Structures are given as structure tokens and as C-alpha cells.
Structure 1
Amino acid sequence: MTTINGAGQSLSYLDQLKGMQDKKIAEEQPTTGTNQLKQDDFLSLLTKQLAQQDPFKPVGNDQMIAQMASFATVDGINKMNEQFGSLNSAMTSNQALQASSLVGQDVLIPSASALKSHDGEMAGMVRMQQGVDNAILRVENEQGVLVKTVTLGAKSAGEHPFAWDGKDDAGNVMPQGKYNFSVSGNVGGESQQFEVLTHANVNSVLLGNSDGKVMLNLAGVTKPVNLAEVLQIGKSAQSAAPLSTQQG
């Protein structure tokens, strides 16, 4: 189906749709706050094309079906986008409801720093890509001062939980505050640092914006942590026992 513009040129149905879209974008309609073609625009254009068609060359059935199929496709995509938006909102609300049950619990996150309370122990986990003969754990306070060195011994590749009893090398109980953990070992004759994960207590739950993410406010962590980054809820029984106080 075609119409004739002011310059005597033949315009296809899709060309006219594109022209209307470009015109609406250029005009920037401030009253409606939108520059997208609506269903009424398609119907109005289709009606005008039918009224202005060449009576000696009427629109063929195949052309009519093709254009109606294009209209149905665009309308279906718009409805699908609306449904996906509703589904995303529902999933975000459901995630937030589930995450609210985490408030007050400890979660394991990929962070080498954690907050120590008055009552002592701190737990975490180390990930090793390769086995080592003798791994060393170092605990530093927030100022970067080394307060504890522990020999972990031989460790195979994998994840290994640990716990610190909250005391320094001299056996003194350390005050509350933030502490940093690092684990190293010799691999192929060279010293290598391994990824450390620590536990943190969940203070509250935050709903994300349009991205649908659910964030957690954790004690001792300055920025909210994505719920997807949580690797474990609660402390495992193995990590509950303090590490040996053997110094490296």
C-alpha cells in the first residue's frame, strides 16, 4: 500500500511510520512526556491510506495482510514489554520478602574485612585454586597493624573455613572493630595470596531501582551488598571452632 507525498514521491507504509516516529521525536511533545507511536497512530495512518489509495490499483490482499501482521507484531511487542515489567516488579518484591528473613543473621560474602564484636570470635573462608604445603593466616586491625599470625598447615585446592578466637599473638583479647584477613602460601616456589571471604551480620534490606536488585546493609560494610553475592547463610559448624593459636 502506498501514498503520494507533497513532492510527488511514493511512500510505503513502513516509510510513513518511520517518518511519523522521526517527526514526533523532533517535536519533543512536553505535554504528554512521550515520543512513541501509539496504537491510535497506526489505526489512523492505516485508515488514511485506505481512503487515499488509487482506485485503479486497490490494495491487494497480500499487502493488507502483511501490513496488518506488522501492526499486530508491534502491538504484541508492546504488550510483552508491559508484562515483563510487571513480572520483574513481582520478582523483586518476592526477593525482598525472602531477603527480609535474613535480617539479624550472618552471611558469607567475598570480603577480606569483617567487624568484630565484644564477645570474640570471627569466622571466614579461604578459596584456594591450588593446594599448598603450608598456608599462613594473617589478621590485621583497621590501622593495618599485624595482631595475629596463624599457621594453617597443608591445604588442598578448594574452600576451607576458618575462625579466629579474637586474641593477638600474646593471648590478649582484641577490642571490637574492623579487622582484615589475608591467607598466603607457596605455590611453585612463589608466595601467592588467596581469596578470603568473611561473615557479616545483616542489618536491613534495600529494594533496588528499576534494575530489580535486592541489596543488603551489612554490619561493618560501608556499601550495600547485592543479595546475589551472598554465598552462605549462617556459620558452618566447621568454622565455629577457633583456629589453632600456633604462630607462623
Structure 2
Amino acid sequence: MDTVSGGSALDSLRWQQESYKVADKDDGMLTQEDFFALLTKELSYQDPTKPVENNEMISQMTAFSTTDGVTQLNDQFTDFASSMSSGQALQASSLVGRSVMVEDNSFTLAEGEMPKGKLITEEPASSVVIYVENAAGEVVQTVPVGNIGSGESSFTWDGTESSGYAAPPGDYRFRVAGLVDGKASELQAMTYRKVDSVTLAGAGGNILLNLNGGSSMALSDVVEVSEG
């Protein structure tokens, strides 16, 4: 039985393959070129009497193709996520100077402003009154509303106290009370807050809207935007 020895042709082939080296990659990722170089290296060292089966070769090619496809998909998703972040940043920056609704009844009054709010009730209410309280809890203005239906109702405070003079700038809150099914109840009140600035890399990677009065909220939590 003939045996295969290290002839000149085989040695020459082996020498040529050994002279090829996979280039170092800064990111540690194998490219398609690297894969074929390693595959050629594997073939040069195999026993000629026991060549690699076709199904093994196909399996290796399929595995690499799948890995390469996943890598490309990850790159595309990263580009998509970056594009989405840029779009959200642009959207958030357009809100500076405008007002967004906050699920809170407190707000900060600036000179010349007329704060807006919204009261919410699941059932009709009667004898509804809006009380404006300062930071000390003192009622500075009382606004009778009367009867309202279920749902949401918007309102605006002109910024004046019961005396008729403009209220000083500072922290205030709306408190809304009325009768629901004949029983005294406090209704939910929300306020509009002006956006002073935007933080693009806030807590948890969220885009944050910095509101007047020192608080902030995530862009994703915005449910309504007002011009003023």
C-alpha cells in the first residue's frame, strides 16, 4: 500500500499556507477573510487519507455564515438605536420653552405667568371649587367652578390673589374639592410645567425634561404638550 510522504509539492503548499497569518484585530472579531484563512490552514494539516467530510465542511460554512449574519444584524440595530436616540433628542429639544402636563398639583409661579391645570373625575361632581395654596399651605385664591361632568376639565389661574394683586413668584399648588354623589371629595388635579432645559443622558439613559421649579420628568412620560 502506497503511503504519502512529505514531498516537495506538499511541502511547498504547506509553506505557502504557513506564510499567511491572520491580521490582528483591535476588536477581537473574526472577519470572513480570517475564517477562510483558518479553514485553509486546517485543510493543509489534515491527513490526506482522511479528508474532511462534505457535511463537516458545510456545517462550518453554515456556522460562520450565521455568525456573520448576526453580527451584521447587531450593527444595523445599533445604527437604528442611535438614529432613534437622535430623533428623541431633537424632539426633546423642541419642547424647551413649552409646557408639558405633569401628574402633580404643585407648580412654580413666575412673574407674569398664568398657570394652567386640569382636574379629573370619573363621576360628575357639583359645587366644585379650585383652591390656590402657597408653599405655607395658605389659600391665596378661591375659584368657584360649579358643576362638571366626568372626565377632564382644563382651567387657568390668572396669577392674582383674592386681594386682586398679583401673587408673588414662588411655589404653589392647586387643590380641587367638590361633591361626588353628595359626598365631599377631593378631585385629582394636574398642572402644566414649563420645560427649562433637556438632559440627554439622564438616569437610566433616559432623556429628561428639566422643568421649572427644579423637578424633571422622562420624555417618555409626557402625555400632553401646551404651547404656553
Distance 1:217 1:187 in 2: 36
> Aligned residue for 1:29?
none
> CA offsets, 1:49-69, max 9 Å, x none?
656767776544344334432
TM-score by length of 2: 0.69
SS in 1 for 2:93: helix
Change (3 A) 1:141 1:163: same
2:112 to 102, 115, 119: 119
Report the more deviating stretch, 151-160 or 193-202: 193-202
Residue 125 of structure 2 corresponds to residue 132 of structure 1: yes
Would the aligned equivalents of 1:89 and 1:212 in 2 still touch at CA under 8 Å? Answer: no
Change (3 A) 1:47 1:190: farther
Cα distance, 1:72 vs. partner? 2.1
Change (3 A) 1:210 1:86: farther
1:226 to 218, 224, 228: 218
Distance 2:144 2:112 in 1: 24
Change (3 A) 1:58 1:183: farther
Aligned residues: 200
SS in 1 for 2:74: helix
Residue 88 of structure 1 aligns with an amino acid whose one-letter code is A
2:78 to 85, 100, 108: 85
Would the aligned equivalents of 1:214 and 1:226 in 2 still touch at CA under 8 Å? Answer: yes
Distance 1:54 1:186 in 2: 93
Cα distance, 1:160 vs. partner? 1.0
Distance 2:182 2:60 in 1: 71
Distance 1:182 1:188 in 2: 19
> Aligned residue for 2:30?
39
2:92 to 99, 107, 111: 99
Cα distance, 1:180 vs. partner? 1.0
Would the aligned equivalents of 1:137 and 1:184 in 2 still touch at CA under 8 Å? Answer: yes
> Aligned residue for 2:193?
200
Distance 1:38 1:112 in 2: 54
Residue 214 of structure 1 aligns with an amino acid whose one-letter code is I
Residue 150 of structure 2 corresponds to residue 141 of structure 1: no
Would the aligned equivalents of 2:125 and 2:181 in 1 still touch at CA under 8 Å? Answer: no
Would the aligned equivalents of 2:106 and 2:171 in 1 still touch at CA under 8 Å? Answer: yes
Distance 1:110 1:197 in 2: 5
Which blocks of at least 5 consecutive residues in structure 1 are unaligned?
1-31, 236-248
Change (3 A) 1:135 1:59: farther
Which blocks of at least 5 consecutive residues in structure 2 are unaligned?
1-25
SS in 2 for 1:39: coil
> Aligned residue for 1:243?
none
> Aligned residue for 1:167?
160
Distance 1:139 1:128 in 2: 19
> Aligned residue for 1:157?
150
SS in 1 for 2:116: strand
Cα distance, 1:47 vs. partner? 6.2
Would the aligned equivalents of 1:216 and 1:226 in 2 still touch at CA under 8 Å? Answer: yes
Residue 147 of structure 1 aligns with an amino acid whose one-letter code is V
> CA offsets, 1:8-59, max 9 Å, x none?
xxxxxxxxxxxxxxxxxxxxxxxx8x8xx73269838766765676777654
SS in 1 for 2:175: strand
Residue 74 of structure 1 aligns with an amino acid whose one-letter code is T
> CA offsets, 1:63-87, max 9 Å, x none?
4334432322222222222222222
> Aligned residue for 1:244?
none
Residue 224 of structure 1 aligns with an amino acid whose one-letter code is S
